[in-house]
Amino acid sequence: MAADKDISDKYGITHILNLGNYGKNHFPDTITYRNVMCDDNVDVKVLPKFPVSFKFIDEGRAKGCVFIHCNAGVSKAATLICILIYLSHLFISF
């Protein structure tokens, strides 16, 4: 999806958060990117990555639509989104 301009346009994606170590910024002229380096393994500490990620998501949501993904699409993006939803229900701002 992050590499498909037609889909990005269809869903109005204006920002992409790459959680990984080899994400490519395919459309830097039309989409704002934030690359947060994170390996895909169980030992990686994701908690320190949250503040910068949440800030980017908030800024992106204020201007459009944010797509969040990681290398394997299994854990980091889903974890970040779940924590973001949980914290927003507790009315915690970033």
Catalytically annotated residues: 70
Q: First-to-last CA distance in the chain? A: 27
- Largest Cα separation within the chain, whole Å, is 36
Taking alpha carbons only, the member of 61, 74, 66, 77 closest to residue 19 is 77
